[in-house]
Amino acid sequence: MSKKVLVCGAGGFIGGHLVEYLRKQGFGDIRAIDRKPFDEWYQIHDYAESDILDLQHRDACYQAMRDVDIVYNLAADMGGMGFIENNKALCMLSVLINTHLLEAAKDEGVGRFFYASSACVYNASKQDEVDNPGLAEADAYPAMPEDGYGWEKLFSERMCRHFREDFGIEARVARFHNVYGPHGTFEGGREKAPAAICRKVIDAKLSGSGEIEIWGDGEQTRSFMYIDDCTKGTHDILNSDILDPINLGSEEMVSINGLVDIVEDIAGVTLKRNYKLDAPKGVRGRNSDNTMIRELMGWEPSVSLREGMEKTYRWIYDQVADRYPGRGTVRAAVGSETLVS
């Protein structure tokens, strides 16, 4: 395939996986951009043309866009609840990235443009109960999104729409629901619940502390999408005729306590749970309604939470095990019988 693809945010979790997915789809000419130094990229693919640029700057966006046919914008200053609740201004500044990328895409005559939106655009009043029947695309309006991060996403979605209507940019938008998997953030403050719970359970297991901290009362609900479903869905939505923002998420809703149950079972431990009620909690209940994606694409994310969490747990285990000399020496230990003590 001769088309040149630009992946923005390629040093991050989803971007790093998307570059590899695109190569497997036959794209040989991929430009991978991130603002982080290379040693902080989760994955660097030697077949891609990787470069460091800060895409909040207009000139950088024009430089990145040179000779490009297809753009995936996954670059954003973001994280889990611990980050977005405490960094609302930083989250909103990501509007500069998508704005300048859209302008550059218009001027450079780009063929297709993908924007990664979020379930955080949905009206908060529809997420007050743990038993959420699923958020359908229309539930984003009237607007009452997550303060800061969600407003930026909703505005940028809207900007994609108007660049399409007014300038003919073939923009496509997916609303990702909490994505997890290997090669993602698992510590440092930006991690989301699946990776955070894996890391905490592994630390408790290897340190022998026997307890973990859980934010909130653990009854709050979410659905989590495995990274392989995310990369496939992203690529397919970009290539579709779906003009309005569409959910890309799992319908397998689980409470945070249920998520901890799964990780404890994978690890082969039972831990004392300490609930931190004043920690960042976000909405009470969230789930994806996949009616639209099933109808329009005949497909929906399908990797089970158990299967995806096993792979995620193994990868995080490998990252932290050497912090516990003598205890974490078995690669990707799963289940108590594999623990070396």
Footprint of ligand NAD on this chain (CB under 6 A)?
9, 11-15, 34-36, 54-56, 74-78, 97, 116, 118, 176, 178-179, 185, 192
Residue 317 binds which of ligand GDC, ligand NAD, none (CB < 5-8 A, kind-dependent): none
Least distance between ligand NAD and beta carbon 104 (Å): 13
Query: In the annotation, is 317 catalytic?
Result: no
Coil, strand or helix at 323? helix
Least distance between ligand GDC and beta carbon 178 (Å): 4
Q: Could you list the residues that contact ligand GDC (CB under 6 A)?
A: 78, 80-82, 84, 118-120, 176-178, 191-193, 196, 214-216, 220, 222, 256, 279-282
Coil, strand or helix at 266? helix
Least distance between ligand GDC and beta carbon 144 (Å): 15
Residue 55 binds which of ligand NAD, ligand GDC, none (CB < 5-8 A, kind-dependent): ligand NAD
Residue 268's φ and ψ, nearest 5 degrees, are 75, 35
Comparing CA positions, the residue from 56, 98, 43 lying closest to residue 315 is 43
Residue 254 binds which of ligand GDC, ligand NAD, none (CB < 5-8 A, kind-dependent): none
In angstroms, rounded to a whole number, what is the distance separating the alpha carbons of residues 153 and 228?
23
CA dist list (Å): 82 to 153, 170, 173: 18, 34, 25
Least distance between ligand NAD and beta carbon 35 (Å): 4
Catalytic residue selected from 72, 115, 149, 180: 149
CA dist list (Å): 161 to 98, 158, 169, 253: 12, 5, 9, 30
Tokens 């003919």 belong to 168
What is the set of active-site residues? 149
